[in-house]
Amino acid sequence: MDLNFSPEDETFRDEVATWFSENLSGDFKHVRYRGGSGDQSEMFAERREWERHMGRHGWSCIAWPKEYGGRDATLSQQVIFAEEYARAGGPGRTGHLGVELAGPTILAFGTDEQKKRFLPPIAAGDELWSQGFSEPNAGSDLANVRTKAWLEDGLNGKEWVIEGQKIWTSLAQFADWCFVVTRTEEGTQGHKGLSYLLVPLDQEGVDIRPIKQMTGDAEFNEVFFDGARTAAENVVGAPGDGWKVAMGTLAFERGASTLGQQMDFRNELYEIVEIAKRNGKIKDPHIRQRLADAWMRLKIMRANSLRMLTKAEKAELAPEALIYKIYWATWHRNLGELFMDILGDEAEIGDAAPYQLNGLQKVFLFSRADTIYAGTNQIQRNIIAERALGLPREPRGNT
């Protein structure tokens, strides 16, 4: 057992850290620590410019092959990158749905033409993506998707026509594209007959309506498809094979892309420690216990992720991989509660009228969503029980 990264990896860490310290300065100094979950619209234009800046220097999608704007980075390097990004105060990434979900999915399941068409603009920060999975009647039960699509002759040859509604679509209001799970075989149910389409959002048949969240911000949207169109070749995997591709995306969402986020969490925890020192709550025995618990669990989260990373590099399936999502989500939600209890009465008071909350309050409120998106805690428990422990699968009702 060896916790040390290799000398090459450490060299890489230095290179990354140096680049950030030189580049998160000047014009970009003020985007440091801005945006991110709970605050997606904060300084969006500036953060988008930063995304382009990273892209120009080949730092936005390091995991990808060089030919598509990446650096062929190893998993270790990806984790190091994410850690250093957070350590340097890198802003919430405007392109993360493309960088972490759309891109890897296209890389894994797409055609060469799709890779050439879609990957470079993601890496350059020019095209932003969104995830069109959930529907009013397909949440945890994603296979219940009803949005339909069929092929028709259009002006530019064969096109998919899409009819239906997606909901909770994060950042769609800023996005250029959406990857949409649709039912393309009439009369099919469940996992069968689904296709994974890439749909441009700037067109007549698409209506995007932001939904205000409990934070007061609108991070997600309803997206209505009413005769929306996309070219016939914009299907990832074979038509009818969309379920497999969607599961691939979910694996990316729950997997390596989150391995480096402990460093963001660390920043939040450090901040609350400083506040507790200033307002005296650090002397409260009950708060001390909870702070210590949060501190330890964060270290353990990193240890879990290092175990997972080691196994992933050897292409082994690790039980740690299945526990990772529920562990971090629950930890972060508890941290939000701790934030508020440390602030005490001040926790109630926001920044400005009409409803401008401070960042700690937003973390508290938004972290309620952490245990819902990317598979709720209950769904995570089902997955752990069934896949890791071999317990019987959930029975299905009639839909």
Partner 1 sequence: MNFAFTEEQELIRDSARKFLAEHATSERARAVMESDSGYDEALWANIAQEMGWAAMVVPEAYGGLGLGMVELVILQEEMGRRLACAPFFATSALAGQAVLFQGNEDQKSDLLGRIAAGELSASLAFSEPSMGWNLEDINATWRQDGDGFVLNGVKRHVVDGLDTDLLIIAARKEGSKGCEGLSLFALEGTLDGMACTRLVTMDQTRPQAQIELNNVSVSGSACLGAPGTAADALDKTLNIAALALAAEQVGGAQECLDKTVEYVKERVQFGRPIGSFQAVKHKCADMMVEVESARSAVYYAACIVDEGTDELAEVASMAKAYCSDTYFKCAGDAIQLHGGIGVTWEHDAHLYFKRARASRSYLGDPAYHRERVAKAIEAFDTSVDHFKYGGTV
Ligand X SMILES: Cc1cc2nc3c(=O)[nH]c(=O)nc-3n(C[C@H](O)[C@H](O)[C@H](O)COP(=O)(O)OP(=O)(O)OC[C@H]3O[C@@H](n4cnc5c(N)ncnc54)[C@H](O)[C@@H]3O)c2cc1C
Candidate ranges 119-127, 153-161, 274-282, 372-380; the one touching ligand X (CB under 6 A): 372-380
Please identify which residue in 133, 225, 331, 339 interacts with ligand X, judged by CB under 6 A: 133
Out of 60, 131, 215, 304, name the contact with ligand X by CB under 6 A.
131
Round to whole Å and give the CA distance between 29 and 205.
39
User: Which of 20, 14, 31 lies closest to 59, judged by CA?
Assistant: 20
CB of 211 to ligand X, least distance (A): 10
Q: Which helix (H) or strand (E) holds 154?
A: strand 148-154
With CB under 6 A as the contact rule, the residue among 107, 338, 343, 379 that binds ligand X is: 379
Q: Which residues contact 316 (CB under 8 A, 6 or more apart)?
A: none
Instruction: Name the helix (H) or strand (E) containing 226.
Output: strand 220-231
The minimum distance between CB 168 and ligand X, in angstroms, equals 4
Q: Is the dihedral of CA 331, 297, 306, 50 positive or negative?
A: positive
Q: Which two tokens stand for residue 334?
A: 């508890």
CA distance 114 to 127: 14
Quick check: 218 binds ligand X (CB under 6 A)? no
Q: Within its chain, how far is the Cα of 108 from the centroid?
A: 17
Select from 61-69, 267-275, 326-334, 374-382 the region that touches ligand X (CB under 6 A).
Answer: 374-382
Least Å distance, CB 314 to ligand X, is 30
* Residue 131's binding partner out of partner 1, ligand X, none, with CB under 5 to 8 Å set by partner kind: ligand X
Q: DSSP string of 28-48? A: GGGGTT---TT-TTTTHHHHH
d(CA 160, CA 147): 12
Of the candidate spans 109-117, 234-242, 340-348, 377-385, the one that interacts with ligand X by CB under 6 A turns out to be 377-385
Helix 75-87 to helix 262-279 angle (10° resolution) is 30
134, 195, 215, 262: which one binds ligand X (CB under 6 A): 134
Cα angle 263, 269, 273; round to 5: 145
Contact residues for partner 1, defined by CB under 8 A: 1-6, 9, 32-33, 76, 89, 267-268, 270-271, 273-275, 277, 279, 282, 285, 288-289, 291-293, 295-297, 299-304, 306-307, 309-311, 314, 319-320, 323, 326-327, 343, 346, 358-360, 363, 378, 380-382, 384-386, 388-392, 394-395
How much is the CA Rg of the chain, to the nearest whole Å? 22
> Which one of partner 1, ligand X, none interacts with residue 68, CB within 5 to 8 A by kind?
none
| Partner interacting with residue 373 (select from ligand X, partner 1, none; CB below 5-8 Å by kind) | ligand X
153 three-class SS: strand
φ, ψ of residue 219 to 5 degrees: the values are -95, -35
How many residues can be counted in the chain? 399
Helix (H) or strand (E) holding 227: strand 220-231
As annotated, the active-site residues are 253
Among 140, 188, 189, 203, binds ligand X (CB under 6 A): 140
Q: How far is the CB of 91 from ligand X (least distance, A)?
A: 19
What is the signed CA dihedral for 274, 277, 281, 285, rounded to 10 degrees? Answer: 110
Q: Output 83 or 135, the one with its CB closest to ligand X.
A: 135
Q: Which does 205 bind (CB under 5 to 8 A by kind): partner 1, ligand X, none?
A: none
Q: Is 378 in the site for ligand X (CB under 6 A)?
A: yes
In terms of CB distance, is 219 or 241 closer to partner 1?
219
Q: How many residues bind ligand X (CB under 6 A)?
A: 19
Q: How far apart are CA 243 and CA 249, in angstroms?
A: 10
The 228-257 contact track toward ligand X, x by CB under 6 A, reads: ------------------------------
**By the criterion CB under 6 A, which residues form the site for ligand X?**
131-134, 139-140, 168-170, 219-220, 369, 372-373, 376, 378-379, 382, 394
